[in-house]
Amino acid sequence: MSDLSGASRDQPIRGFGAVLLALGGIVAAFGVASCCGLPLTLATLGLGTAWLGGFAVLAAPHRLGLLAAATACLVTAAVLLWRQRAAACAPGAICTRPAIRGVTAFGLLVGFALLYLGYAYA
């Protein structure tokens, strides 16, 4: 009987890997883009970019590692999201909610855009 209660407690966590990887990829890509690409893009839109200076100082020495981590996280999250769409998720798991899949897909697009900005303008 205790096996069933443990399984039902773990169901909402199942399928959460794509969300965590997308979030990690966005954070790493933001660190890479904070140096050159993001300030240039935001300044073009007329927004101030002085607040990015602190992030750029912290992220600049780790640029190659952040590029690799962001690429690995975002690609793996995209593959997991695609596999969740192709395979049936367990009832009650987080991957069954369409809103979560949509937010994750949008986060992947933002992450890949930041990754491109960080790679192209540095």
The phi, psi pair for 87, rounded to 5°, reads -105, 155
Average pLDDT over residues 56-80: 92
The 3-state DSSP class for residue 73 equals helix
Indicate whether 22 belongs to any domain.
yes
Q: Which two tokens stand for residue 30?
A: 């933001």
- pLDDT band at residue 66, thresholds of 50, 70 and 90? very high
Indicate whether 3 belongs to any domain.
no
Indicate whether 21 belongs to any domain.
yes
Note the pLDDT tens digit of each residue in 86-121.
666 666 666 667 788 888 899 999 999 999 998 987
Q: How many domains does the chain have?
A: 1
Count of other CB atoms within 10 angstroms of residue 105:
16
- pLDDT band at residue 35, thresholds of 50, 70 and 90? confident
Please give the model's pTM, rounded to 2 decimal places.
0.77
Indicate whether 4 belongs to any domain.
no
Residue found by looking up tokens 């596999």 in the block? 83
pLDDT of 89 reads 66
Q: Which two tokens stand for residue 5?
A: 């209660």
pLDDT at residue 8 greater than cutoff 70: no
**Integer Cα distance of 46 and 42 in angstroms:** 6
Indicate whether 8 belongs to any domain.
no
* Structural domain range at position 58: 16-120
Q: What is the DSSP letter of 35?
A: T
pLDDT at residue 122 greater than cutoff 50: yes
Indicate whether 5 belongs to any domain.
no
Instruction: Find the Cα–Cα–Cα–Cα dihedral 22, 25, 27, 32, rounded to 10°.
Output: -150
**pLDDT above 90 coverage of the chain, percent:** 32
pLDDT of 2 reads 44
**Integer Cα distance of 102 and 9 in angstroms:** 24
Query: Taking the alpha carbons of 68, 59, 55, 122 in that order, is the dihedral positive or negative?
Result: negative
